[in-house]
Amino acid sequence: MSLDVVPSLLLFLFVFGASHACLQDPAEAYRFTGAVCRLTYPAAVVLNEKTTKVIEAVFQHARYPSVKGEKSLFLIGTVIYGLENLEIHNLSIGRSAFELHPGEGISMEITNVSAVFKGRIQYGYGSWLVSVEHSIDFEIEYQIDLGINPKLYCGEGKVAADTSDCFLNFHKLSLHLQGDKEPNWLKKLFTDFITFTVKLVVKGQICKEINKVANILADFIQERAEQFLSDGDISMDIGVAAAPVITANYIESYHKGLSIYKNVSAVINESVFHPSQLTEHKMLYFWISDQLLNPMFTAAHHDARFQLNISGAELSELFKTNLSSTMPEYFRKCLLESGSPQLRVWSSSVPYLHTSTLGTNVRGTASAQLHCGGAGAPTLFFQAEVDMDITVSYADKKVFLQSNRSEIYVLQAEFSSQNQPHLDQAQLDFIREAVEKIGIPKVLSVFETEVTRLLDKQGTYLFDIFSPEVLPQEGFMVLQMDFGFPHHLLVEFLRRTLQ
């Protein structure tokens, strides 16, 4: 069954991303919003722990530029120096804290960052009395506090972070020259201007690297989201409709969620989102509009994704289900006596979805062909209109779909051979009941397997998802959950960033 693009309620575990424009007023952007992500304070605590690891990696892997300079001294003349091969060793980070500032941004403070800065000094000095050229290894022990006040904004249509408000406070900075064999005045000189220079180098480079890594992280997540939601001619514009909103309790981002099929984009302009539709007692929330899901159904239908083929013993076993209708002779011989029955099912109209507090209602028309094998065997063609209510759940890292109500109307049923009699009402009743009690459960079972497989392929199973709930509402649904951040994503990000 081809179900690579499906209306999965869990496809947005990675959704953050880019688009072409942003509205300045979030309230104005609500009606253009197909999906909303709300990250509450407890979730930010979990992500802050991972951010500390990223900051630690930035310190360790930052490329510190060589520094050259000179200084004039009485009697000695001009001292020319260069700092080369600058590296950080024995890095440790004490504590990391953050705070959400409503309407402004996020403040992060990482305290008690200690390390040893190693490098080599190339220096020379001279006058009419003396001329010296020399090099010596040095170490600088330092202890600092790092502060970052990132501002989230809509840059080039995507959620971006401006980390230019970055500062370092040095509590300790001690220079050690290798062997301490140099003159005291030289050590004093180097202590004065080299430690000052290293301060500038460390501050400038660390803040520069943090800003670069923040942008790389945004692009990394964007790539993952695009890969997750794209297949063949079907993709999705997951760009932001407005800049994120920050309150004391959560960060909220608004995404367009426009399905794109063969370069033609869907349109959302009547979304019913309002912040009051989400609560704050879970770590993570996804609000998903019917206007996002229906174009996904349309694209999947036109791309012939909703097809199912069943044959042989699997098909025969399905029809051993107890039904109240008597199995017609044709079906009995075809399914239970012929050696190779084949059933092909496909969507013959665009499915339509509507969500309410009762669940997700799906309506559409399905067609089927039943062939009993053999050159002379007739083929049965039938078409049915299906109207059913489905509830969705996620547990034990699997997706579950449950049909709560269904109505089946057989629109057409006929044999390919003119010699076969027309189907009577009893045969039509059997087809209707078989679709309801055999066909729908089988299709939902395949959907469950395929959606779970798709999520596993993207690494969703590596998340520790706790107490997930899918709450259907009028015109939208809410996914709410607690989670643990997967370590593999951080490792992959750091590997790609620092390689």
**351: pLDDT strictly greater than 80:** yes
Q: Contacts by 232-235 with C-beta closer than 8 Å and gap 24+? A: 232/4, 232/5, 232/303, 233/261, 233/262, 233/303, 234/5, 234/259, 234/260, 234/261, 234/296, 234/299, 234/300, 234/303, 235/259, 235/260
d(CA 151, CA 115): 28
**10: pLDDT strictly greater than 50:** no
Q: How many CB atoms lie under 10 A from the CB of residue 30? A: 18
Q: How many CB atoms lie under 10 A from the CB of residue 85? A: 10
Model confidence band, residue 18 (pLDDT cutoffs 50, 70, 90): very low
d(CA 315, CA 340): 9
d(CA 8, CA 36): 15
Average pLDDT, the chain: 81
Q: Which pLDDT score is estimated for 1?
A: 34
The angle formed by the CA atoms of residues 355, 357 and 363, to the nearest 5 degrees, is 35
Q: Which pLDDT score is estimated for 199?
A: 78
Q: Which pLDDT score is estimated for 281?
A: 94
**223: pLDDT strictly greater than 50:** yes
Using the structure block, give the residue that is written with the tokens 């009577």: 424
**347: pLDDT strictly greater than 90:** yes
Give 26-81 pLDDT, tens digit per residue. 888 899 999 999 999 988 888 777 777 777 777 777 677 777 777 776 666 677 77
Using the structure block, give the residue that is written with the tokens 């107890």: 322
Give 85-109 pLDDT, tens digit per residue. 877 787 787 788 888 999 888 888 8
Q: Which two tokens stand for residue 34?
A: 């197909």
Q: Which pLDDT score is estimated for 383?
A: 96
Region 285-290 average pLDDT: 94
Cβ neighbours of residue 65 closer than 8 Å, sequence gap 6 or more: 86, 201, 205
Counting every residue written for the chain, the total comes to: 499
d(CA 140, CA 144): 12
Model confidence band, residue 308 (pLDDT cutoffs 50, 70, 90): very high
**19: pLDDT strictly greater than 50:** no
Give 98-144 pLDDT, tens digit per residue. 889 998 888 888 888 888 888 887 777 665 444 556 777 878 888 88
Q: Which two tokens stand for residue 26?
A: 């979030």
- pTM of this structure: 0.81
SS (H, E, C) the chain: CCCCCCCCCCHHHHCCCCCCCCECCHHHHHHHCCEEEEEEHHHHHHHHHHHHHHHHHHHHHCCCCCEEEEEEECCCEEEEEEEEEEEEEEEECCEEEEEEECCCEEEEEEEEEEEEEEEEEEEEEECCCCEEEEEEEEEEEEEEEEEECCEEEEECCEEEEECCCEEEEEEEEEEEEHHHCCCHHHHHHHHHHHHHHHHHHHHHHHHHHHHHHHHHHHHHHHHHHHHHHCECCEEEECCEEEEEEECCCEEEEEECCEEEECCEECCCCCCCCCHHHCCCCCCEEEEEEHHHHHHHHHHHHHCCCCEEEEEHHHHHHHCCCCCCCCCCHHHHHHHHHCCCCEEEEEECCCCEEEEECCEEEEEEEEEEEEECCCCCCCEEEEEEEEEEEEEEEEECCEEEEEEEEEEEEEEEEEECCCCCCCCCHHHHHHHHHHHHHHHHHHHHHHHHHHHHHHHHHCCHHHCEEEEEEEEEECCEEEEEEEEECCHHHHHHHHHHHHC
